[in-house]
Amino acid sequence: MNSIEIYDCERNISKIAFEVVEYLELHSLLNKPISILDYGCGNGEVAKFVAENTNYQQYTCIDISKKAIELSKKNCRNLQNFEFLCGDVTEITKSYDIFIISAVYHFLNKEKRDILIEKIKHFLNPDGLLFLLTLSTDDKQYYGKGKSVENHDDPDSFIYEEGYYLHFSSKKELLTDFNLLRIEKIKEFFGKNYTKDVEFFTCWILIGKSKN
């Protein structure tokens, strides 16, 4: 029987931050000067951790929320060569060595997800890497609990009472949608105590490399 990894987010940092550093260490890339895009950066905890543990050259944080951008700026105030942009996928206009997309892909509807994938296709540098963390269709807390979205192109997506949208990805969907990349890792995990509002969740970690 397959066992699922349990991730206890006691430091309140997304698992993706550790995945980025581990991957770069394993591939002897920790000292390489790299440019990073952190899309949906939230409070900047991922940015701070990754920046402090790599030899990043330039780090861009994008978030649709002004408050998140303010928090990120505060959290990363002692770090150099940071850029903060408030907006959504349209703000991606430059090339990067690494795209980090943690706990935000599931908030994007099919149209936005497709635009984001196009942006990755266009703006991920040769040998570039994608680190994606997103909700799985195996999630027991929220999957199927909202009202199904009435768009046949967007299955496994729901609207909840508070009006927010969530999309859940299956392994098959991710492998199809990210076939522009060579998939280095795709693994499901069960996380707990991530934020005050989310008690537990089942997510995918996907690491993909540019096919050049």
Start-to-end Cα distance in the chain: 37
Cβ nearer to ligand SAM, comparing 42 with 128: 42
| Binds ligand SAM by CB under 6 A, chosen from 37, 98, 108, 205 | 108
Among 40, 128, 191, 208, indicate the residue that binds ligand SAM (CB under 6 A): 40
Residues 69-88 that bind ligand SAM (CB under 6 A): 88
Query: Is 82 or 182 the residue whose CB approaches ligand SAM more closely?
Result: 82
CA distance to 31, 59, 153, per residue, from 62 (Å): 24, 10, 27
CB 51 within 8 A of CB 113: no
State yes or no: residue 68 binds ligand SAM (CB under 6 A). yes
Q: Please state the closest distance from residue 46 (CB atom) to ligand SAM, in A.
A: 5
Taking the complex as a whole, the smallest distance from the CB of residue 212 to ligand SAM amounts, in Å, to 27
Which residues on neighbouring strands pair with residue 63, listed in sequence order?
86
Q: CB-wise, 108 or 205, nearer to ligand SAM?
A: 108
**Dist CA 42 CA 71 (whole Å):** 8
Residue 121's nearest CA partner among 204, 170, 177 is 177
Question: Can you tell me the distance from the alpha carbon of 102 to that of 105, in angstroms, rounded to the nearest whole number?
Answer: 7
Nearer to ligand SAM, 37 or 174 (CB): 37
Q: Measured from the CB of residue 91, what is the shortest distance to ligand SAM in angstroms? A: 8
Query: Binding of ligand SAM at residue 14 (CB under 6 A)?
Result: yes
Task: Find all residues with CB under 8 Å of 47, minimum gap 6, and list them.
Answer: 38, 41, 59, 61, 72, 75, 76, 79, 82
Q: Which of residues 50, 98, 103, 174 is near ligand SAM by CB under 6 A?
A: 103
Instruction: Answer for the pair 136, 160: CB distance below 8 angstroms, yes or no.
Output: no
Which one of 104, 120, 124, 206 is in contact with ligand SAM (CB under 6 A)?
Answer: 104
Secondary structure of residue 38 in the 3-state scheme: strand
> Cα-flanking dihedrals φ and ψ of residue 47, to 5°?
-55, -45
Q: Does position 42 bind ligand SAM by CB under 6 A? A: yes
Nearer to ligand SAM, 40 or 128 (CB): 40
Sole binder of ligand SAM in the list 75, 102, 134, 169 (CB under 6 A):
102
Q: Which residues of the chain form contacts with ligand SAM (CB under 6 A)?
A: 14, 40-42, 45-46, 62-65, 68, 88, 102-104, 107-108
